[in-house]
Structure 1
Amino acid sequence: MTENKHIAEVQVESTRFILTDTDMEHRQTEAPPSYDSVVNQNTAPPLYPSLQTLSANQILPYHIPQPIPQTPAPRAAETIPSQRRQGLCRSKRCCYGGSSGATVVVMLVVIAIWLGVRYGPTLWALSKSTKETDTCPPSSVDCDGKRDCSQGSDESRCVRFGTANELQVMTFKSSVFLPVCAQGWNKNIADQTCQQLGFRQHHEYGFLLTNSSSFQSMNSQFTNTIQGSVNRSTSCPGQQAVSLHCSKCGKPPVSTRIIGGSVAADGQWPWQASLHFQGYHTCGGTLLAPDFIITAAHCFPKETRDSQMPSNWKVYIGLVSQLRLPSPYYVHKIILHENYDPATKNNDIALLKLNKPASNVQPICLPVFGQKFSPAQQCWTTGFGLTRQEADSISTSLMEVKVDLIDLSVCNSHTVYHGSITENMQCAGDLRGGKDSCQGDSGGPLVCKADDQWYLTGVTSWGDGCGKQNRPGVYSNVGRLLMWIYGKMQQERP
């Protein structure tokens, strides 16, 4: 998190390293800045909060993967009697009895235990991953209220929210999203619908006027899904549709201050999470629902050993200081976007399902379908990342900075990122430089305020340096990825 008065300059052996327009033309077909080459993977991890000095000739990513010490395998061959290795042992007593035989047995047990401890969880995870591959029969029907696919993907994208949280449902008969008529709606249906979406229960519901000519009307009895409990109709008494809120979100108890680059107050951003990989802050995250954290997919690179093992991660929520950590939450499952592209950073988004719900912590609000945020709205990004590009340690305090949303066409212009920004990305910062995310902020939130509530607009993804002129931060566009988010929350709901 950085807000500098001057544009950061990088020195490479007394030669200034500046990306010119010619450089950008040359790089337009190359991948965005790497996130996985900042720290030497062959060295031991530094003590928190110090980090190794970043190489000046590297483009700085927003993710600082921690190196993992290599554990050598036990050298057991030397303890096995030479006769056994040469096949000269001809009796059970010779092979298994006596001191040499006992040594063989002991070493085999030690090796078996070591292999089980070292590789057992990984093999189990790989096996589990294989078993959880989603398969759909040819006869599967989307949004009919019946789970046909092994992981339920056929029923995971049938519900969304419109303006004023209007509940909208698509069925296999309607094939379009329609508002749900208020007639027959009640608290029990509200709870079951929110549970279907991955929440524990509903927060509140109400009714609103709609000018829609078609509706989804409730059946006489609610089934296990809302899409299986409605029928399309052309009438609705009073044109009253359901407005549903599945959580109390986006209203922190502490009012935010209109300043930037400052230390955040306790309770100001309660949904902020710090993801620790093997004991070290690695990425940020945001609480979406009691059981789910949203973060960046690049925080879990395949090249980093065991980074996709849930047991290697701890999640701290609602903290403002790395020196005063609350009790951690543990990760039950890591869910990466299937179409995440490490080369372009497209679809750079992931969900963490926690092993137990976060209690007494207010989550962020997800935007509703079609919700637009203008540069005039208050938008902030928060994190524990570097406070300036040349810094050699991340911040122990949660930092905040006010940023401006930047239009896609501007961010893709010749002088900025020259076509590297997809529709699934959102640029934010200051084209003059000085306000930006930085290393260690990856996966953290970009939030914007509307109607007295804060909405998650983006997930910190990548950027060229920190706070550089015409190089704003790039965030995954949450509004474009809403259906994936809700779909995965439904598939993994508690």
Structure 2
Amino acid sequence: MEHRQTESPPSYDYVMNHNTPPPSYPSLETLSATQVQPYYIPQPVHQTPAPCAQTIPAQTVRASSQRNKRYCFGGSSVTAVIVVLVVIAVWIGVRYGPSLWALTEKETPPDTCPPSSVDCDGKKDCSQGSDECRCVRFGAANELQVMTSKTKSFLPVCAQGWNKDIADQTCQQLGFRQSYEVGFLNTSSFTFQSLNSQFTSTIQASVNTSTSCPGQQTVSLQCSKCGKPPGSRIIGGNAAADGQWPWQASLHFQGSHTCGGSLVAPDFIITAAHCFPKGTTGSQLPSNWKVYIGLVSQLQLPNPYNVKQIILHQNYDPASNNNDIALLKLSKPASNIQPVCLPAFDQKFPAGKKCWTTGFGVIRQGDDSSSTLLMEVEVNLIDSSVCNSYSVYGGRITEKMQCAGDLKGGKDSCQGDSGGPLVCKVDDKWYLAGITSWGNGCGKPNNPGVYTDVGQLLMWIYGKMQLSLICHSLHHKRV
């Protein structure tokens, strides 16, 4: 998390033709020829090791460097047991290592759909259920919008017949545990999705298209209490106040903080895909990761959450960092921690809006130690046309990216902040606008931070959450 001003402009690591205007959004072929610098160090970010102690409470153990573990235990008998266990572990690794890796790192089979598959009819046709996982979205004021196999477009759901049970089932379908709040909106729409007499397994199979709706009232649905942390923040402070960013996650790879993340639902963390490079051994193995949520200090770690599944965007491009997003499914729900809100489908955050980014990354470019405290900095959203200009990133910004920071330099994310949140406040709620992704250095003039635009990937997020929790339970056979 960079705060200092840079004295001189950076030296550009690319040469552009100043006589040709840049495209507003370049093709991926063009991007693949230009390497970008992710806010991520392939190995875990170093941290000052904690003092050795004979007993280490789980809630206060801090992560140490992968190369310099300082966990100390007292007693010769304990030491002997540890030696024996290490020997056994090494033998198992040598004897069964290849087969174990083949089982744990096996990629998810490709999603295959038969020619007869029908989207959004409530019946799973595709092998991974993708035909039923992009049928629901939320509009302004949390208006529930559903697409069916007959309408082929998203329509608001009429409030007639709506109740808490249906709300819970709809939110569960999307990967949440239950609904949080149901409201009703007055709409000017002339076409609706009206409930059937009986709710089936999915909302898209439980509605029919209608041109009438009593009172023109449609459903407003919230699936979680999100984006409203208790207490007030310290304006302009460097270290975040306790409880101010409860959704902030610290992702530890093999015992050390490596990336940030954001809790968006009890079972799911959103982070960056580049935090899991194929070239780093074990980086895509869930058992190598621990997730700490709601913390403000690496010296006082809460109880960790294990990772059950790592879901990378299938079109993530490491050369350009396009589609730099990943979902982590937790082994148990973080039901007592408030998540950040996902934006509505058509919600826009205008250029110039002041938002905040947080993380445990290094506080100065070139440092080899991450911050032990959660750092925060206010940044301005920057229009993509400005960020794509020759004086800034010269055409590297795609439509899946959002720039934020200060073109004068000094306010930025940095190594170790990767995957963390860029949040914007609207009507007393904080929304996840971006995911810390990449940049040219940290805090340099004309080199602001680049974030994955969450609003452009909402259907992927909801679809993968639904696939992970619900779609695999749908019947394979059509009825």
Normalising by structure 2, report the TM-score: 0.84
Query: Matches of 1:111 and 1:405 in 2, distance apart?
Result: 50
The residue that corresponds to 1:402 in the other structure is 378
Say which of 356, 364, 368 aligns to 1:392: 368
Query: Matches of 1:372 and 1:233 in 2, distance apart?
Result: 29
Matched, 1:18 2:21: no
Cα distance change on mapping 1:493 and 1:24 into 2, 3 Å: farther
Say which of 329, 347, 356 aligns to 1:353: 329
Q: Describe how 1:29-108 pairs up with structure 2 within 5 A.
A: 30-35=33-38, 48-49=47-48
Q: Describe how 1:268-347 pairs up with structure 2 within 5 A.
A: 268-347=244-323
Query: Matches of 2:186 and 2:299 in 1, distance apart?
Result: 50
The residue that corresponds to 1:381 in the other structure is 357
Query: Matches of 2:208 and 2:224 in 1, distance apart?
Result: 26
Cα distance change on mapping 1:349 and 1:46 into 2, 3 Å: closer
Aligned partner of residue 2 in structure 1, secondary structure: coil
Aligned partner of residue 264 in structure 2, secondary structure: strand
The residue that corresponds to 1:241 in the other structure is 218
Q: Describe how 1:383-462 pairs up with structure 2 within 5 A.
A: 383-462=359-438
Query: Matches of 1:229 and 1:28 in 2, distance apart?
Result: 44
Q: Quick check: 2:134–2:462 contact (8 Å CA) kept in 1?
A: yes
How far off its partner does 1:485 sit?
A: 0.3
Query: Matches of 1:384 and 1:248 in 2, distance apart?
Result: 25
Q: Quick check: 2:181–2:222 contact (8 Å CA) kept in 1?
A: yes
Q: Quick check: 1:8–1:467 contact (8 Å CA) kept in 2?
A: no
Matched, 1:207 2:165: no
Structure 2, gaps ≥5 residues long: 21-29, 50-64, 69-87, 471-479
1:286-328 CA distance string (max 9 Å, x none): 0010000000000000000110000000000000001111100
Aligned partner of residue 465 in structure 1, secondary structure: coil
How far off its partner does 1:378 sit?
A: 3.4
Q: Quick check: 1:28–1:418 contact (8 Å CA) kept in 2?
A: no
Residue 291 of structure 1 aligns with an amino acid whose one-letter code is: D
How far off its partner does 1:5 sit?
A: 3.3
Matched, 1:154 2:157: no
Aligned partner of residue 203 in structure 2, secondary structure: coil
Q: Quick check: 1:32–1:420 contact (8 Å CA) kept in 2?
A: no
Query: Matches of 1:320 and 1:191 in 2, distance apart?
Result: 32
Q: Quick check: 1:8–1:466 contact (8 Å CA) kept in 2?
A: no
Query: Matches of 1:344 and 1:22 in 2, distance apart?
Result: 17
Aligned partner of residue 447 in structure 1, secondary structure: strand
The residue that corresponds to 1:370 in the other structure is 346
Normalising by structure 1, report the TM-score: 0.82
Query: Matches of 1:270 and 1:121 in 2, distance apart?
Result: 36
Q: Describe how 1:467-478 pairs up with structure 2 within 5 A.
A: 467-478=443-454
Residue 5 of structure 2 aligns with an amino acid whose one-letter code is: K
What RMSD, in angstroms, separates the aligned Cα atoms of the two structures? 2.5
How far off its partner does 1:47 sit?
A: 5.7
1:377-414 CA distance string (max 9 Å, x none): 33000000111113231100000000000001000011
Cα distance change on mapping 1:234 and 1:337 into 2, 3 Å: same
Matched, 1:218 2:221: no
Query: Matches of 2:17 and 2:47 in 1, distance apart?
Result: 35
Q: Quick check: 1:377–1:450 contact (8 Å CA) kept in 2?
A: no
Query: Matches of 1:144 and 1:178 in 2, distance apart?
Result: 15
Q: Quick check: 1:433–1:467 contact (8 Å CA) kept in 2?
A: yes
Matched, 1:176 2:175: no
Aligned partner of residue 263 in structure 1, secondary structure: coil
Q: Quick check: 1:337–1:347 contact (8 Å CA) kept in 2?
A: yes
1:184-221 CA distance string (max 9 Å, x none): 10000000000000000000101010000100000000
Residue 30 of structure 1 aligns with an amino acid whose one-letter code is: A
Residue 31 of structure 1 aligns with an amino acid whose one-letter code is: T
Query: Matches of 2:301 and 2:111 in 1, distance apart?
Result: 37
Query: Matches of 2:206 and 2:459 in 1, distance apart?
Result: 20
Query: Matches of 1:110 and 1:331 in 2, distance apart?
Result: 22
How far off its partner does 1:225 sit?
A: 0.3
The residue that corresponds to 1:250 in the other structure is 227
- When Rg is computed on C-alpha atoms for both structures, the one with the higher figure is 1
Aligned partner of residue 396 in structure 1, secondary structure: coil
Aligned partner of residue 183 in structure 2, secondary structure: strand
1:93-150 CA distance string (max 9 Å, x none): xxxxxxxxxxxxxxxx9998434552343211244x35x4322111110000111112
How far off its partner does 1:330 sit?
A: 0.3
Greater relative contact order, per chain length (Cα 8 Å cut-off, separation 6+):
2
Say which of 116, 133, 155 aligns to 2:110: 133
